[in-house]
Structure formats: structure tokens, C-alpha cells
Structure 1
């Protein structure tokens, strides 16, 4: 119990400086199991998540917004069904994103129509067997109903990580981290790297080199809320350089997000990001030294490198708005967007996609009436007669992209991201 409330206190300090926190809750004993000190029974991990949620609700991150939290939970914990279904009540855990950590054993059982054992060490009274597809179906149905839980392939994450010991992520889940690990992230806006209609590959590589050095320097000058975070980050020196504006870049190239051409170009973007960032980090290791934990890691016998990880793809929800580009590697969300703010006089702001407006004006089919039609069409220009077919093709929004084409684009990037 002391450790639980110590974690809540640590999290509160992080929220005060506008940070977010990820936790792994399946280390807590299942509901109904006997406790050693009080002789009572445990209320279970999900009940303690409500305590974390209430604490977060009372603290605004940096005094400006509510703190962000990620809660992860192993698929083989006896209370997994309660975790999967908790957000069917939308008033529950409103300050949490939730993800189930899936094992290779579980996924194989899903494929084989087999069962898995739910168990917790030292509390065999909670052990039970369940069909894997029962849990899989619950995850899918809840994700469809309320967007959660997400899924993390935890065995794959730890297999690919140079050190391992990963059980959770940051609140948006782009960054798997060890206990007390922290994010040091940056994103390059691909849409800004065009010159005379062509993508400037040399400038892209130069920016990657600068960004890796910048993020590495940030590790040394950063203010760390907790000493454990500083110790962890200085030991592994994890950075996460990624991109944003991918969908906008496709528009400037005149190709559709869901095309094979787009996936081929993404492969070039992602490979360049990986290769250049790794080469820069290796050069930094010669100049300043490797990350201290490399000598104890899975890559101890490989070329010295400054940073345990170099790349990530963040959602860039806020910074893409500031930069005026599409977010991360996602499709354009909509051509017209209603944003709601707390600023007096700016409670509701309608935004129009600048690239679309510029092309529409240049080709002479822009009008306020057209924008109203797009608004009524859920932000999409598909099927609107005033919009030329070739423009409809390159301006497909997220809702116009099929799930398989969306996943195919993500899979291209996944091959090259730490």
C-alpha cells in the first residue's frame, strides 16, 4: 500500500510540470485475494486505478490542463475482464488511456482457438482458464464502442528493445519506456521540406542530424522532476525523433494516402529517418561517449551508440496544430474541423484545410457554398461534384481510408521505428 501511494505522490509532481505518466497495474493482486498484513481481501487493481484517476482529476498538468495517464494490464491477469470492460461506463477512469499488453502465447491461442490460464503468483485461488477468443472479442467490441482498450504486443516490444524491462508506455503509447523512463521527443514537418514542388532529401537528412544532437543535448540540460527519472534517462539516453505532415506531403506530391506509391515513399522517409539518426547517434558516441547502459544491454557487442533508442512516431496532436500540418503519419482528419476552446470569444472555431483551400482557389472551384457542403459531408470532399476527381483522390480524409489501407501505411513505418 505504501508503494501505491508513493507512486501517486510521484505522479502528482510530474503532473505539476505538465507531464504525463504510464503505469502497469497487473502487478497488483487480484480482487478477492487475501492481503498479508491486514488479513482482509484485496479490492483489485481496477479499484486502485480509480484512486489514481481521482488524484489526477484534482491536478491540472502545469496548471493548464488535466494530467495524462496510461494504464496497462497483462492479458493473463485474473482481473483482465474487469479492465477490458471498465470504460463501458464512460464516467469511469476519464483521465486514463488504457491498453492491454498481449503476449505471443495469447495471440497463438487466439489463432489456435485455444485457452489461456489467468493467474497471479502466490494467489492460486484466483487462477482460472478462459478461451482466448472470448477475451479477444471483448477487446475488439470495447475498442469499437468506446475506443478502448488499445493493445500492446509486449513480447514483441521487449524483444526489439535494446534493453527490455518494458511494461508500459507514455500516455499516448508511442513510447514504450522502462520504469521511470521519460520522453525526449521531436518531430520533423515533412510538408515544409519542399522546394519548387520537389521534396528536399538533403535538407531532410541535415535536419535529422541536427535534431538528434538537439534531443541528446536536451537530456543533459533538462529539469528532472524526480531523481529516479534523471538516473534512468542519463543511463539509457533514450530519444524519439519522428515526423509529422506526412499526409500533407503526399498532397504536395500529388499522390493518395492509400496508394502503393505513398507506401513506397513512406518506406524511403522512414528508412532515411532510421539510418541517419542511428549514424548520427553513433558519431555522437565517438564524440561524447555511448549511453552507459550499453555495456549491459543486448547491443553491448555492437558499435557504440549514444542513445538506446533514436526514433518514434508521436501523434503530434498539439504541435501539428502549432506547425499547421497534418498530425504524425495519420491521414488528414477532415477538410473542415470544429475546434472548441476555453478562451472567451473563441469557444468555437471552424478551420478549413489550408492545402485544400489553396488548390481550390488556384483551380477556381473554391466557394463558401462548397465548404458548407464539405461540412455537411463530415469534412470529406468525396462525391462532391464541384471538386475534380483528381483532387478528391489526393484529399481523402481519415474516414475515407479503409482500415486495411490505414494499417498498411502504419506497417511500413513500424519496420523502421525503435
Structure 2
């Protein structure tokens, strides 16, 4: 049976360009992550220094998130993303030039990572708010799943490419990341649909806090994004992979690239499965189960001293996390009116950034005290505790059976 034209995402050229841009941007960020992490640990041998990478990315997001939401709801979202990607391209080009000239030190690398964090503070929530205006609301859940798979695909390829390119020296993955950001800039520039804001109101404390106020009143949305926040904040081990690769598993930079890619392989395969068999029932219980599996797999990874078992455990964390991501993203986007999407997406991104980047800082600090194995074990067990607590704190989320219907304004204009 032929699908309706509306259901074929490839028939929406602006979405295809959006997908290309998101893949290229995520690919660049992952290549940078491998190169920066390995350089810093190679230069310092310090878990604390590794953790500071996450802190440098998190602080701009924390300080800018509320402003980002207002900007995304007040100006052309496509133009905002293009500016962010162009700045990221220039930053990495200068970083590569500094490495080539031999004038870049640890402070310069942290500075570049901080600036990339600032661009992502604007880019990520603005992209999330832009997507619902590029496709009909009836296929938005499918578009969200495909968009998620785009990020995961890049997260598979990016670390592997970054690790392999690092064999040629740190300049190679940095230059490759700059080229990917440039490609993303061109893809977003080519989007034809112009989406002016619903209205451009004044910047007030009320407008800045509107996203927080909306989420606080939507218990299902609050429960889903806070569950993801605390689970990944505690259970994420990404920042510790250089330590596991070199000191525990002894597999070098190439092995670290594979370790970073393993969760994305699991996430991508899960994305494809969800496209074929979308979640129609038991949405809330499925999210809790997925996060619990994420925690258990993290415990297995922390205790493993076998490279293949470690890869498999990370594969499972990625598959489980993708289920949570798709459910959370769908709940947020389908429950939010378009004129609020920028501010709600900014708060959502702040929660995600807290779990990912601040989680990397937390992992580095704990690993400095009790080692990477202890940090991973504590994080995985902490995730299971969070799941049990959130099932009691947010019974509304536990009882969600079906996805909500798209809100008004979800269709492109």
C-alpha cells in the first residue's frame, strides 16, 4: 500500500535539508568531543581535567537558556541556527590553526569548547522548535524519530572518525569537525520555508520564565524531562571513556572511538525499530522501563574488563536511552503550542545539557575520588534509584498510555 504523500518525509525537501544539517552538526560535535577528550587526558592524565570539559559546555547553556527561548520565539529560527553554525565553523577553524602553529594550550582548548557550548545553547533548542514548522503535525512523531536517528547516526560515525583521524594528530579531527559545521551551515541556508515568529513581544521576566512556568504546570512533561535529567546526570559515563579505554580496557584512541560509537549504534537501531513499530500504547511504563535498562547496562559496563562486553553494554545504554528520548521529545513537542516551543525547548535543552555536560563534570569529579569503575557503578545504581523514586513522584507519567494529539499550530504554514 502506498503511503500518503504527507507521511513520506522525503517529500518534504525542507525536512531533508534539516536532517542533513542536524547530521553534519552532530557529527562535528562528536568528532570534537573525541579529539578534545583525548588531548586533555593525554596532556594532563587528570579525571578532573576531563570533567571540566563538560562544565565548560554546561555553563554557557545554564546562563543563556532562558534568553535563548525568548530569542527562538521572537526571531527567524532558521537564521538563528545558521549564525550559530557559522560561529562554530569559525571557532574550530581557528582551533585547528592554533594547533598547527603550536600556540594552543589547555586554556585555549577550554575556551574553544566553551564557545562551542554557547553556540549549542542557541542551536539545539532552536532546531527543536523549528522542526514542527517544517512538517505536518500528523507526521511529527515520525519526524522526531527520524531526527533522533540522524543524531544517533552521526554519534556512531563521529567518534569512530574522530578516533581514527586522531592517529594523524589532533589537527585532523578538529579540521574535519570544522568542515562538517560548514556543511550544516549550507544545508540550513538552503531551507526555503521562512518561519516568522508568531509575535515579537518585549523581553520581560514573565516571557523569560514562561517556559519554566509551562513545564511546571504540565506534570507529564516535567516528569519525563526530569527523569531523563537525573538518570543521565548520574548514569552517563561518556566523560570517563578515555580513562576506561586507556587504563581499564587498554584499547587506545581507536578503541575509545568505538566505545563512544557503541551507544549510538544501539540508539540508531532502536530508532529504526520505532519507525517500523512506533510506540502506540504503554508510553509511560515504556519510558520507565527504558531508563531502568539504561541503569542496569551502565552497571555492567562499569564492572566489565572485556572490551566486547563493554561495547555491548554501551550498545544497550544507547538503545534504551533512545526509547526515552523519543518519548520525551514527543511528549514535549506534541503538548506545546508553537508560540511557546522556543522557550519550552530551551528549558528542555537546559535539562538535557545538565544531564549530559554537567553529568560529565560530575563523573570526572567522582572518578577522581573513587576511580572510573566506582564512578560508573555508583551512577548506574543511582539511575535505578531515580526510576523507583520518579514512579512514585509522577504517577501521571506512569499512567500515560498514548501520545497526546498535536496542539494547535503544529502544522507548517
TM-score by structure 1 length? 0.25
**Structure with greater proportional strand content:** 1
**Structure with greater proportional helix content:** 2
Higher Rg of the two aligned structures:
1
Higher relative contact order (CA 8 A, sep 6+): 2
TM-score by structure 2 length? 0.26
